[in-house]
Chain A
């Protein structure tokens, strides 16, 4: 699993099983799927988390606007997101790949 860092460790088993089960017609879509790197979103979160840019990048536009409008949730949400953003990115990646696995 060379893409293991894009997903939560407990999701890997499920993804692997699904990949083995599905037929080859899914392969072109799967191989070109763009996944978000959790490390990148962590860097963005540390540098520009107060403006909600980390949330915009992973596709959580609603939460991004919320963060932008409240100065990063009065600074508290921005700090909480330093620890949450990697998990959120991995979950977004799972949502993305799930569309292709069925």
Chain B
């Protein structure tokens, strides 16, 4: 339930900090030639990759300059990277200016995405990406 500004902002900040720590840990691990930790419960249980499996590998590939590899591992990595870059900056600017532009934007997008003309293409894209993930055998 995100029905007030500060709750959304603290959630976003916590998620982004966790994301940065997670990326840092995994970068460190891949440098030491270890495989990234297996955390996806869906893959653990069913042995099928979930729609966002491979996002960490994708972000790490993008950070090391291999953009094409990042795109072929999982395009969702770019979306997550974009959110992780923009969200904290937007939250900080909003907090400093005392405005709630990000919260208003979030509410507007949430209502828009519930309309079928936006939600159906989104679901289709996620499903296509999922099928691609399963074929790649991430």
A residues near B (Cβ < 8 Å) are 50-51, 59-63, 65-66, 68-75, 78, 88, 91-92, 95
Contact = CB atoms under 8 A, between A and B. Distances in A.
A50 B15 contact: no
B40 interface: yes
A69 B55 CA distance: 8
A61 B50 CA distance: 19
Given A88-B1, A92-B1, A71 B110 contact: no
Contacts, number: 59
6 contacts: A50-B42, A61-B114, A69-B52, A74-B22, A75-B39, A75-B40
Contact of B51 (A51, A88, A91): A51
Chain B contact-residue range equals 20 to 34
B106 A71 contact: no
Given A50-B40, A78-B41, 4 more contacts: A50-B50, A60-B1, A61-B113, A62-B2
Interface of B: 1-3, 15, 18-19, 22, 39-42, 50-53, 55, 76, 79-80, 83, 106, 109-110, 113-114, 126
Contacts of A68: 51-52, 126
A25 B52 CA distance: 48
A63 B2 contact: yes
A71 B52 contact: yes
A50 B51 CA distance: 10
B53 A71 contact: yes
Contacts of A62: 2, 106, 109-110
